[in-house]
Structure 1
Amino acid sequence: MSIQLNEEQAVTQVVHQQVQGMLTKNLALLDQVIAPNAKFFHITGQVQSKTEWLRQIRLGRMHYFSSREVLFQATVTGDQAQVIVRNELDARIYGFRNTWPLQSQVKLVKGPRGWQIIEAHASMY
């Protein structure tokens, strides 16, 4: 028996899959939940394409150890969604390890492959 997810649950699942993919270096999962032309806006102001971000994970320049979610808000309007998520993210980024209090504003769209992330803006909270 399969359980049908409502749109908000489906969006939540995609964002949680992204975090899980980051923690496990599951590049196939990340490739699935992130749209090909997605952009990532980091706390430094740097903007990365999906390809470049996945490359940095694969090379170990961005290594994610753990994440503790402290806030999650999802809003779905038609085939677009906006998620605000706050995580305490233990990561080593370009050699510097810290537990970063990050807020991400994530935009998703629903297309032929289901919900996919098209943009993520990270900031400190």
Structure 2
Amino acid sequence: MAVIHREVPIDATPARAWAAIRDWGQVHRRLAPGFVVDTRVEGEVRVVAFADGTVVRELIVSLDDDARRIAYAVVGGSLEPVHHHASMQVLGEDGAAASRFVWTVDVQPHALAGPIGAMVDQGIEVIRRTLGAAPA
């Protein structure tokens, strides 16, 4: 199994960054607009459509406000048959002007580490721009 781990600075307060990530049904509006073109919630699953045509069904495994962490697993869609489990977390002290964004993805088969890693890198750049922009 491959592990893709990225940790990057975000020019947004931890509270602001977490609010966008926590709003797990609005990824296409609040977190990664343009990279994600639509998000639809169906119970504990979100259906995420990416700009490249990939569509995945993600089960929300945990949503932890205290740790500012969300974990999810792909349970269907364009990436089948793949094992894909990921988490996103915001690190930083309350009141800080900036934070750190951590995205970790476990993926199998290992051969998908390159393509999934490239998607993560592209997504991170969109997330950094989106969260670093002035609040509406």
TM-score, length-normalised on structure 1?
0.37
TM-score, normalised to structure 2, is 0.35
Higher relative CO (CA 8 A, sep ≥ 6), structure 1 or 2? Answer: 2
More strand by share: 1
